[in-house]
Amino acid sequence: MEGFSQQEQIKKPFLRITLMRHEEPFYKGKGNDLTEKGAEGALETGRSMVETINTKDELYLLSSPSARTRGTLKLVAEGAGLNDVSQRSVKTLRMGEIRDIERFKERIAELGDGQGKEGIARDQYTDPVYENDPSFIEPNSKKKERLYRSFEYLLRWLSKYQEADKAHVIAVSHFEIITHLIHDVFGIKNVGKYNAPSFGEKVEIEGYHTESDHRILLKVSYNEHSKVVHFNRLNRSIEIEDSVVPESL
């Protein structure tokens, strides 16, 4: 596979994405659906982003349709002083569809004490039932497909309407969606846990144009790990490069 050209390495990013998991919720679907700890965590995340947000960039606030993701995004925006930026719900960022809720509850109980809802993350990446039995839950491959379809739609939107030099997207979704990106870029085991990301954890992405209209160069950072990959727009997939992160990025 071709390496990174010098031209690719010196370009400035046209896109930044802060993709985060919602904060700690009640899972009741009411109000912002966040516990006191979760609400404060979202506000603090927003406050911590103030110095990194360039007001000259085009800002987009996106979330899945759930109350906990919309609530997280609203409080992040409040903490960052972005109350005047409109929020949009994106269906492709929604949580995985549970098709047999009673069986799902039984599955959680089977995981044992101390794991609960978080333990289901490891289960989803170690048991083939999550891919091979669509009557139980939306297959992992479909969830990953939704994630990268969202990214492709975003790129198309920006190619038509972006006016500033760079767009900054702040998006809030669910672990079972975000983990596919972490897995494809780093490998889940390589970042130390299957239940990544935890509540409020972020994946930072910078996008760079390349010499090909069909490939976008991405610098992906998560949990003190950084890696450069390509996003193939034709088959909507992550392509791993045997390369370290260029210093210019």
Q: Could you read off the pLDDT of 35-63 as tens digits, one per residue?
A: 999 999 999 999 999 999 998 899 999 99
Structural domains of the chain ordered from first start:
6-95+139-240 (3.40.50.1240), 98-137 (no CATH)
Instruction: Assign 178 a pLDDT band (cuts: 50, 70, 90).
Output: very high
Q: Tokens standing for 49?
A: 């982003």
Looking at residue 71, its pLDDT comes to 98
Share of the chain above pLDDT 70, in %: 86
Helix, strand, or coil (residue 59): strand
State the average pLDDT for the chain: 88
Looking at residue 124, its pLDDT comes to 82
What are the distances in angstroms from CA 66 to CA 46, 51, 178, 190, 215?
19, 28, 15, 30, 31
Range with the poorest average pLDDT among 106-110, 118-122, 244-248: 244-248
Of 127 and 79, the one with more pLDDT: 79
Distance CA 77, CA 79 (A): 5
Distance CA 140, CA 122 (A): 13
Looking at residue 3, its pLDDT comes to 46
Of 179, 164, 193, 172, nearest to 64 by C-alpha is 172
Of 105 and 114, the one with more pLDDT: 105
Of 55, 62, 82, nearest to 166 by C-alpha is 55
pLDDT tens sequence across 131-153: 999 999 999 999 999 999 999 99
**Mean per-residue pLDDT for 96-124?**
79
Give residue 166's region: left, alpha or beta (phi > 0; psi -120 to 50).
beta
pLDDT tens sequence across 20-36: 999 999 999 999 999 99
